[in-house]
Amino acid sequence: MNLDPYISQILESYGKGVYYEEIRRAKEYYFSRAIKVAEGSDRYEAQLNQFFDWFVFERNLEREELPPIRVFVRESLKNIKDEKALRIFEGLGNSVSSVFELLKIKDNEASIRDLYDQEEYLVEDIENPKIFQKGDVFQARIVPVEDKILFSQAFQFHPKEAKSYLHKEIKKTKSLKEVHKKELMLKLSLMKHRSEQYPHIDAAHIYSDKPVI
């Protein structure tokens, strides 16, 4: 199931009009911390997807002090008559962004473990299962829709050399407030962008308390 049209609807609601200047500032902030890549390239599209995910689900709107998804659920869900759309938007409101490890992949289903709480999930309806390999560590958003768990389209596979750093950073923030987890997710996302921009540099020198870039 493709969740993009539903996420795009939320983005459309909070990316124009009175929110236009805010999303422009948010984009400047995000991309000022990421390594610039050419617009139109595959890496730029990946960065843009990650930015949209961060803006819709994680970043608080300045006036409402809630992310767009929370405001949408609070103010617009009551106006949605289509039952399928209603269930999907409710699922997006209860989505979880984290770092996961792939335990098993079979057909279009993946068994994964959340490295924060060690909870295991079976994710269904995967569009491209061939991108996964057992043992992969990746950032993703899982969305509960009725009796299924689905992935959104925002993926980042972290290099194997970064595993020890990822485990260390997750352990440090486990007992802290949710805001610290959000900050770590953003930091790791930007580290991934840098590792792609500079493939000749050992990932261990980027995923570090003192990164070389």
Extents of the domains making up the chain: 4-92, 95-205
Terminal alpha carbon distance of the chain: 38
Give the position of tokens 């709480």.
Answer: 117
DSSP E strands, 66-206? 96-106, 109-114, 120-123, 137-145, 148-151, 156-158
Percent of the chain with pLDDT over 70: 96
Residue 8's Cα: distance from chain center in Å? 15
The residue-averaged pLDDT of 85-96 equals 96
pLDDT at 28 over 70: yes
What gap in Å lies between CA 98 and CA 100, rounded to an integer? Answer: 6
- pLDDT value, residue 1: 81
- pLDDT value, residue 32: 80
pLDDT at 37 over 80: no
The residue-averaged pLDDT of 107-133 equals 93
Query: pTM (2 decimals)?
Result: 0.89
What gap in Å lies between CA 121 and CA 124, rounded to an integer? Answer: 10
Strand partners, 144: 149
Mean pLDDT taken over the chain: 91
Q: What share of the chain is helix, strand, coil (3-state, %, to 5)?
A: 50, 15, 35
Structure tokens at 129: 């299962």
- pLDDT value, residue 35: 63
What gap in Å lies between CA 84 and CA 10, rounded to an integer? Answer: 16
Residue 191's Cα: distance from chain center in Å? 14
- pLDDT value, residue 38: 61
pLDDT at 19 over 80: yes
What gap in Å lies between CA 178 and CA 195, rounded to an integer? Answer: 26
- Domain 95-205 annotated CATH 3.30.530.20: no
- pLDDT value, residue 174: 84
In the Cβ-directed half-sphere of 122, how many Cα atoms lie within 13 Å?
6
pLDDT at 201 over 90: yes
Cα torsion angle, 74, 78, 82, 87, sign: positive
- pLDDT value, residue 36: 64
- pLDDT value, residue 80: 93
pLDDT confidence bin for 153, thresholds 50/70/90: confident
What gap in Å lies between CA 126 and CA 66, rounded to an integer? Answer: 30
